[in-house]
Structure 1
Amino acid sequence: MEKQLERLLYATRWLLAPIYIGLSLALVALAVKFFQEIFHLIPHILETKETDLILVILSLIDMALVGGLLVMVMFSSYENFVSQIDIGEGQEKLGWLGKVDAGTLKNKVAASIVAISSIHLLKVFMNADNIESEKMYWYVIIHLTFVASAFAMGYLDKITRKGH
């Protein structure tokens, strides 16, 4: 009885696979939005102010970071919690694939969130004339919270890895 329960419990890890497929659909949606922004910008490039162009570029960078984060979470989580990804001989393999454990992934996600928040904060500062100072204050507080959280998570991970 115990062995069947353990096998069943172990097999339930496959319930995560459709979630990772859902994340790949989110990546498709992000790519569509990315190119929608590019196609919207191109016809108006000559009349676009430099500040507005920089804001659009920062949005594109933001989307690229989120896309990279999605890929990292999808593949690393799949390998850590579901099954190893078998890449055939002679096929291109991502250098970090199979090397990112759950703790490392958590730190990379935290660092990515800080990077994404930094870009968002830069966009806010570039548009500061149109934003209330109290809102600006809260944007900075939220960003600093992300930074402090990422630092604390990295520090705790470092302490726990030394203990092993």
Structure 2
Amino acid sequence: MFIWRSTIAAVSFGYKFLKIASGVFDLDEAEMILAMLGLIDAALVASLIVMVMISGYEIFISRFDEASEADNEVSFIGKLDSGSLKIKVASSIVAISSIHLLQVFLNADKYADSKIMWLTLMHLAFVASAIMLGFLEKLMSVTSKNDLQDKA
């Protein structure tokens, strides 16, 4: 299922890129900025899908640490634990939300003020959630280090 989603994300990115490339000389500056923001948004969504795929594989199927002992090709992947995954997913969601909100602000005349307000409040909720997750992860790492020192 994740393979299909990542394939769809790649095809969507390719379609957007070709659409922008074909009209690169016809777009004005504001339209080009919006188009680039759309490409960045698509790339972030695709990287979020890949990150969840890799961490899901490592959590539920096999650890990459075992494979990295034999050959060092995937050693960078095995550094995603559940805490860091939460932080990275939250950061990606905040980045995607930021780009979407920037697109809305650049087209503010096409949106009602109440919709802009709700989108801004949603973005702030994402930011607050990411900050809280980071704080809780930091608190948990300090607590687990203290527990290990107490056992030693």
TM-score (norm 2): 0.86
In structure 2, give the amino acid aligned to 1:59: G
Q: Is the 8 A contact 1:77 1:102 kept in 2?
A: no
Please list the CA deviations of residues 28-70 of structure 1 after superposition, one character each: whole Å capped at 9, or x if unmatched: 1011111111222222221112111111110110111111111
Which residue pairs with 1:29 in the alignment?
8
More helix by percentage: 2
In structure 2, give the amino acid aligned to 1:23: F
Q: Does 1:93 align with 2:80?
A: no
Q: Does 1:105 align with 2:105?
A: no
Which residue pairs with 1:131 in the alignment?
111
Which residue pairs with 1:64 in the alignment?
43
Q: Tell me the matched-pair count.
A: 141
Q: Is the 8 A contact 1:121 1:140 kept in 2?
A: yes
Structure-2 separation of matches of 1:24 and 1:94 = 22
In structure 2, give the amino acid aligned to 1:154: G
Q: Structure 1: which 5+ residue stretches go unaligned?
A: 1-21
Structure-2 separation of matches of 1:149 and 1:84 = 28
Which residue pairs with 1:156 in the alignment?
136
Structure-1 separation of matches of 2:104 and 2:134 = 27
Q: Which one is further off, 115-124 or 43-52? A: 43-52
**Structure 1 residue 94 displacement after superposition:** 6.0
Q: Structure 2: which 5+ residue stretches go unaligned?
A: 145-152
- SS of alignment partner, residue 98 of structure 1: helix
**Structure 1 residue 99 displacement after superposition:** 1.1
In structure 2, give the amino acid aligned to 1:89: D
Taking a change above 3 Å as real, the CA distance of residues 120 and 45 of structure 1, as seen in their structure-2 partners, is same
TM-score (norm 1): 0.80
